[in-house]
Amino acid sequence: MTISFPQGYGEDGIGLLVQDPYHIFIYWELTEKTRQNALHNWFLPFDTPCLLRLQQEEKQGKGTCWNSIYQVELPPSANRWYVSGLRPGEVYRAQIGLHNGQGEFIAILGSKGVLTPPVQPVGPWNTGRPVAVCGGAEPIELEDLPPAESISSTCFYEKSAGGSSR
C-alpha cells in the first residue's frame, strides 16, 4: 500500500529545524492566495520572485536586533531550503518575502527564532538526541532514535555483490 501526501495543506506557515550547530532546514507553505494578495497590495508584477531571508539575532543592550545574513531568490516551486555555514550557539529566524519596486524586503511569512546548539563533545550526559523542535512544528517523542555512539556505524546503503559498497 502506497501512502501519498499532498503537496500542501492550504495553510501559510514557515518553520525551522536545526540539524546541527552549522545547519538549519527551512520549510514553508505560501499559498497562492497570500502571494497574489501581497503582489496586488504592493503593485508588483505577477512574475515577481519570492525571496528567502535568514537573519541572526544580535543583542544590543536590553534590546534585540536582527541582522540579515543570507538571502536568495527562490525557484517558483520551492518549499524547503537548507542553509549551512552558521555559527553555533546563535539564534536565527527566516522570512519569505518580496522586493518592492525600491528594493526593500517585504516579509510575507516569518518564523520564530531557533537556537543552534553550541559545539560540545558528546558524553554520557548528552546523547545527541533532539531536545525540542521550534518554529511552527510540534515537538515529537523520538524514543527510537539510536544513541549518538551508534549513528556513525549505521549503514544507509546496500553493499554490492562484487565487493565495494561505494
pLDDT above 60 for 91: yes
Question: Per-residue pLDDT tens for 106-161?
Answer: 999 999 999 999 987 655 555 555 444 444 444 444 444 444 443 333 333 333 44
Report the candidate in 38, 159, 51 with the shortest Cα–Cα distance to residue 105.
Answer: 51
pLDDT at 161: 45
Question: Per-residue pLDDT tens for 41-72?
Answer: 999 999 999 999 999 999 888 888 999 999 99
Alpha helices in the chain (DSSP H): 32-41, 148-151
Confidence of residue 92 (pLDDT cuts 50, 70, 90): very high
* Residues 30-34, mean pLDDT to the nearest whole number: 95
- Dihedrals phi, psi of 151, to nearest 5 degrees: -65, -40
> Is residue 85 left, alpha or beta, with left meaning phi > 0 and alpha meaning psi from -120 to 50?
left
pTM (two decimals)? 0.69
pLDDT at 95: 97
Write out 130-146 in H/E/C secondary structure: CCCCCCCCCCCCCCCCC
Q: Where are the domains positioned within the chain?
A: 13-151
pLDDT at 86: 94
Across the chain, what does the average pLDDT equal? 79
Report the candidate in 47, 58, 86 with the shortest Cα–Cα distance to residue 70.
Answer: 86
The size of the chain, in residues, is 166
Please, what CATH class does the domain formed by 13-151 belong to? Answer: mainly beta
Report the candidate in 45, 57, 149, 59 with the shortest Cα–Cα distance to residue 99.
Answer: 45
Retrieve residue 7's grid coordinates.
Answer: 503537496
Retrieve residue 144's grid coordinates.
Answer: 527510537
